[in-house]
């Protein structure tokens, strides 16, 4: 992937995301996490994302042990599910979706 392809993919992705998560339409309502791989940092990508109103959090390229969701998203979701009984998988999915939305609104993770 190169910078041009990255920008080409990002614009429709952001439009789709706004349809699914309308609160992202407000500038600064979310944080975009990506690593420092070359396509994410070359030829004005940071400037492009800033113009799009995207707040960025960077971490080292290909660093699996620094995955932000592992620290800020999954532990609270696990706590919300611990010692709970569910009727079926869709019940678990509803609970996870509800808690995930709560964390998004609090900007705990994203």
Residue bearing tokens 């439009």: 15
pTM: 0.45
* The pairing of beta strand 31-35 with beta strand 55-59: parallel
pLDDT digits over 41-65, tens only? 776 888 888 887 777 766 666 666 6
pLDDT given for residue 22 in this prediction: 78
pLDDT digits over 10-47, tens only? 888 888 877 887 776 666 556 666 767 777 777 688 88
- How far is residue 20 from each of residues 17, 82, 105, measured CA to CA in Å? 5, 28, 14
């Amino acid at each position: 992937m190169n910078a041009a392809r990255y920008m080409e993919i990002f614009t429709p992705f952001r439009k789709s995301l706004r349809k699914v998560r309308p609160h992202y339409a407000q500038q600064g309502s979310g944080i975009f996490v990506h690593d420092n791989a070359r396509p994410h940092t070359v030829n004005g990508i940071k400037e492009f994302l800033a113009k799009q109103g995207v707040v960025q959090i960077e971490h080292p390229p290909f660093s699996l042990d620094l995955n932000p969701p592992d620290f800020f998203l999954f532990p609270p979701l696990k706590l919300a599910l611990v010692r709970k009984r569910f009727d079926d998988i869709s019940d678990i999915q509803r609970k996870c979706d509800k808690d995930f939305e709560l964390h998004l609104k609090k900007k705990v993770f994203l």
